[in-house]
Amino acid sequence: MGLPVFLYNTQGIRDGEDDKEEQRRVDFYAKRNFVEKNFATNTNVNQSLINNVLLNNFFRESINNIFPIDDGMNDILNNYYNNNNDAYYRDNEINGSEINYDFKLNSRNDCILSDEVNEYLNKGYENLIYQKNNDEKFWIYYYNNFIVSDILFFDFNSNITYKIDAETYSIDISKISFIDCKYVGGNCTKLMVVISSLSGELYLFEIENGNIIFKKFNIGHNTKILNVWLGLIDQNLILSFNLNYGIIITNVMTNRNYAIPIECQNLNITNAKIDFPGLTIFNSSEIYFVSNFLDATARGQINEIKIMKRENELFESITYKMISSRPTLLVETNQRLLSISNCHTSINSNTVNWYKDTHTILQKNNLITNYEENAPKYQYSILNDFLVVCEDHLYDTTLIIYKYSKISNEWLFLGFTDIKSKFNLKKIKNLSITRFNTNFIINLLNDKNEKYEFDII
């Protein structure tokens, strides 16, 4: 006896097929003329095959514009990963560059932001949302209300500001889940921006020489997009994440969406972070990690990252980095900053050793409380093996530097400096560490919207 009709493997519509070919496929399946794929009449079908076939039918019956990933798209993603993996590891190893225990800060370049930007940032902290893009080269600002509709992108290395008016493009700011941006081309004159929405849309902008090209992609009805990643825009692809479909790949040239399924529908997830090809999903009390969603085996093994939490401790944000060639999660809670090494293995799920690679970097203690309630009092930035933290206290503003130890998997304290007494800097709103050649550079933005650069010497 053969398999029931609904278990036969049906192929999704492939990129580049015209309407006639699409209709042929619809008619083809409607007639049950299954000649493209022949299965043996053996009823001993493994569960993986059944799951894949049922999943194909789920996509085919879906009203959304999402299809299962095909071989062609899978090859594109794997080729990109294989060709860029070695370069990624090289970029995360700094040869001949160190920060010493007796480091000093040397003022490099001070910059007062334009009157327009200064006025924008001075509208108050109550509804101001601040984030960095995925490669942490931009500071992004927008207000979570309907009074201020502009979204600002500040390239702090070049002191260039870009602006998008959300109202002009009918973007509901209250439903924005994440914003990513990236320069394309070698001269950094063209900026690509993507905005993901909890209502299932992606908004893509190409900004060059003051001109804006806009495209909107409707991923699907009631398809909450929790995160978006623009790293493959050079390949005309945008990656996003949804609980029902998993990783969604959007081809911006054909408007076709493909999905890499990840079985997490039953998890109470509110946040996600794509770090190709890894994925971290979490809420205020749970963290799950997929090391490589391109690998069918890996994405079927969602690893829960266990942490011994303190009373009333909640997860706030997560950063994934390759540190000394080791996958590492930096977890910020409402009480401290944690580092979790080897998060790609199952060690954190082991009942005996799950705490082994979890280390507290610092506590959030005695932070300043005498200015705006929602103002940031604590900032951090990571580059390769180095972590920079800035804390605002009542009598000082402390900048601390840590270095990751390959031996102990811990962050070693290199030292600190009081930038309030030395440079009259306080109430730091933004912090990023970057590298130019072999020099480390710290970028700061204070409460007066003055931007400072320091060489670490």
Is the domain of 78 the same as that of 205?
yes
Question: Closest Cα partner for 278 from 305, 315, 256, 250?
Answer: 305
Q: Give the pLDDT band (50/70/90) at residue 389.
A: very high
The answer to whether residue 133 sits within a structural domain is yes
Q: Give the pLDDT band (50/70/90) at residue 294.
A: very high
The whole-number pLDDT of residue 55 equals: 54
The whole-number pLDDT of residue 29 equals: 35
Specify the range with the lowest mean pLDDT, choosing from 201-215, 362-376, 420-434.
362-376
Is the domain of 80 the same as that of 47?
no
Is the domain of 84 the same as that of 225?
yes
Q: For the segment 131-182, what is each residue's pLDDT rounded down to a tens digit?
A: 999 999 999 999 987 778 999 999 998 889 999 999 999 999 999 999 999 9
Q: Report DSSP letters for 334-394, one per residue.
A: SSEEEEEE-TTSSGGG-TTTTTTTEEEEEE--S---SS-TTS--EEEEEETTEEEEEEE-S
Tell me the HSE value of 253 on the side-chain side, using a 13 A CA sphere.
7
Question: Closest Cα partner for 11 from 26, 1, 19?
Answer: 26
Of the chain, the percentage scoring pLDDT greater than 70 comes to: 76
Is the domain of 84 the same as that of 170?
yes
The answer to whether residue 208 sits within a structural domain is yes
Is the domain of 170 the same as that of 252?
yes
Q: Tell whether the model's pLDDT for residue 282 goes beyond 80.
A: yes
Is the domain of 57 the same as that of 74?
no
For residue 322, the one-letter residue type is M
Is the domain of 143 the same as that of 31?
no
- Count of domains forming the chain: 2
Is the domain of 244 the same as that of 187?
yes
Is the domain of 52 the same as that of 155?
no
Q: Omega into 277 within 30° of 0, i.e. cis?
A: yes
Is the domain of 184 the same as that of 54?
no
Is the domain of 135 the same as that of 26?
no
What does the pLDDT average to over 241-258?
Answer: 94
Global pTM exceeds 0.85: no
Q: Which residue has the higher pLDDT, 188 or 6?
A: 188
Give the range of the structural domain holding residue 17, as residue numbers without chain letter: 5-61
For residue 254, the one-letter residue type is T
